[in-house]
Chains A and B, each alone.
Chain A
């Protein structure tokens, strides 16, 4: 417990630490591009949600998890927050108001532009799956964090950091995994760092795109094998949610960088 609290403090310190470290700011001088669309300091992140090697289709085909249970998916959403972009020299850029809700059911939510990114080459990305402690405890929020997005528990306040809902044969109520809990040992936020296969070049001329895949099957695979016959619903914080967060902590990979 103590080590987890400590880990949490370290994460918190590093998040607040990076705010203080001034980013080397490269002045953005207008470049004559002869009519080409100039996007100074933009980088696009694109999320591609997969089931194994297949693109996820909501209310579509039947998939099979590691335990052999058939299932379909009707909703798939998760928060990505506190994004950092790393440079080769281990300095980084921190996105401000860095809260994004990726919703498979809403095409426009699956990619977003990062603004005011200093012109440079970037080698890796760090983000949190979920919403940090601060925004869970400081009252009314807006944008991606608006409780109208139905990713908020109102009876035991806090964000649902990620959710999957769907059906599975023989389970009349279907499957429903709502990952929440931001305090103590059962907190479900997970920090992910992904290296880029090639540098993303933010050069003020063409906006690079970083394509990140998430694999739904990872939710149910390792280290904790989930069998829907015994575990098909999680709707509150606790050890079950924390275990599933350990599972999906490694569900992301960078498929490619488009320069």
Chain B
């Protein structure tokens, strides 16, 4: 059955590509030259999604959402659009900042409209197309369905989907951009979410020193310390923080003691005792930019994280067996080496990629 389904989707995709091809061709003829979205627009450089060498196939490959320059540009504008919030103060980019690898720099928990505080740390945004689920508790099952929550969440943007559509559909620039991206001026939530998925899905971070090392490229020469760190990492961390994405995206409890907030994590979604205090394993790429760390941002430095991992883990009954009651054994030397290695996962070209920055 699974096979039949794939074939069907494959055929469908081929048909869609054909249709979209024709459609793009038509749309291109009609494109309003006055609409510029930024640096890469108007066919100069085509937006294409490339799976980095040696990586697994992504889960989201823009199925039913044909990637285009125009769709991407619309998504980019929407990502930085404050009108997505009730009082037009807050955009996605407020809590997901480019220079912080799209996390919220220096904010332990999210900081939304009217200075309302949430209970969780804004995760960074990159390599989302490989995530089987979203949010710290994995409650969201699709990249296109992800923006609904922050828009409606009273602690984040506190707006209704209807109001967002109404605000945008009277705007001439948006009308033209929706037309360029989707063929006509209709503004609806489906198009908003598909455009945002094009923008966010294109955010691939795969150009750190570690990646160059793996690909055998210039600039990928690892020092002896970094290589020792990689070795420690492979032995002690990689089962959960799996290469090359540095997460296996499973839900696990790494033993953090619970706080006054008592966030039950995955347990909140499944109501299963076995899922209490489990959180989605985060990627370890770009840690230089994404501090503070953990689902509630409780640690500000990597040293603190490693010191935590070597103290006895808080045993709430669901602590992962890979960590156990005694934590992970790491010598001071191991920790130093690990930190050096983790620093090879910082991808400066990603945070500096102008395609993902707000159009000034």
CB 8 Å contact bits of A114-151 with B (1 = contact, 0 = none)? 00000000000000000000001111111000111000
A157 and B190 within 8 A (CB)? no
Q: List residues 152-203 of chain A with CB under 8 A from any CB of chain B.
A: 152, 154-158
B189 and A138 within 8 A (CB)? no
Whether, in the assembled complex, A13 has its beta carbon less than 8 Å from a beta carbon of chain B, the answer is yes
A139 and B144 within 8 A (CB)? yes
CB 8 Å contact bits of B112-155 with A (1 = contact, 0 = none)? 00000000000000000000000100011111110011001100
For A147, what are the chain B residues with a Cβ–Cβ distance below 8 Å?
145, 148, 161, 189
CA distance A152 to B135 in the complex (A): 17
Name the residue of chain A whose CB is nearest to the CB of B5: A16
A157 and B142 within 8 A (CB)? yes
- 29 A–B pairs (Cβ distance < 8 Å), ordered by A: A13-B1, A136-B141, A138-B63, A138-B142, A139-B65, A139-B143, A139-B144, A139-B145, A139-B194, A140-B142, A140-B144, A140-B190, A142-B188, A142-B189, A142-B190, A146-B161, A146-B188, A148-B161, A148-B165, A148-B189, A154-B140, A154-B148, A154-B149, A154-B152, A155-B135, A156-B139, A157-B139, A157-B140, A158-B141
CB 8 Å contact bits of B53-67 with A (1 = contact, 0 = none)? 000000000011100
Interface size on A, residues (CB 8 A): 20
Interface size on B, residues (CB 8 A): 29
Chain A interface, DSSP helix/strand/loop, else mixed: loop
CA distance A136 to B145 in the complex (A): 10
- 5 A-B pairs closest in CB distance: A139-B144, A140-B193, A148-B161, A142-B190, A154-B149
Q: Which of A142, A152, A236, A238 contacts B148 (CB 8 A)?
A: A152
* Chain B interface residues (CB < 8 Å from chain A): 1, 63-65, 135, 139-145, 148-149, 152-153, 160-162, 165, 188-190, 192-194, 197, 269, 271
Whether, in the assembled complex, A9 has its beta carbon less than 8 Å from a beta carbon of chain B, the answer is yes
CA distance A154 to B139 in the complex (A): 8
Looking at the assembled complex, report how far the CB atom of A84 sits from the nearest CB atom of chain B, in whole angstroms. 20
Name the residue of chain B whose CB is nearest to the CB of A236: B271
CA distance A142 to B182 in the complex (A): 14
B197 and A139 within 8 A (CB)? yes
Looking at the assembled complex, report how far the CB atom of B321 sits from the nearest CB atom of chain A, in whole angstroms. 25
CA distance A140 to B139 in the complex (A): 16
**A139, A142, A148, A156 — which one has the most chain B CB atoms within 10 A of its CB?**
A139
Name the residue of chain A whose CB is nearest to the CB of B134: A157
B149 and A155 within 8 A (CB)? yes
Looking at the assembled complex, report how far the CB atom of A87 sits from the nearest CB atom of chain B, in whole angstroms. 27
Q: Which of B1, B188, B271 contacts A238 (CB 8 A)?
A: B271
Name the residue of chain A whose CB is nearest to the CB of B196: A140
Q: Which of B160, B161, B269 contacts A156 (CB 8 A)?
A: B269
A139 and B139 within 8 A (CB)? no
For A13, what are the chain B residues with a Cβ–Cβ distance below 8 Å?
1
For A9, what are the chain B residues with a Cβ–Cβ distance below 8 Å?
1
For A152, what are the chain B residues with a Cβ–Cβ distance below 8 Å?
148
CA distance A216 to B162 in the complex (A): 29
Q: Which of B63, B141, B161, B190 contacts A141 (CB 8 A)?
A: B190
CA distance A148 to B145 in the complex (A): 12
Looking at the assembled complex, report how far the CB atom of B66 sits from the nearest CB atom of chain A, in whole angstroms. 13
For A236, what are the chain B residues with a Cβ–Cβ distance below 8 Å?
271
Name the residue of chain A whose CB is nearest to the CB of B148: A154
Given contacts A147-B148, A152-B148, A238-B271, contact A140 B160 (CB under 8 A): no
CA distance A140 to B198 in the complex (A): 12
A138 and B64 within 8 A (CB)? yes
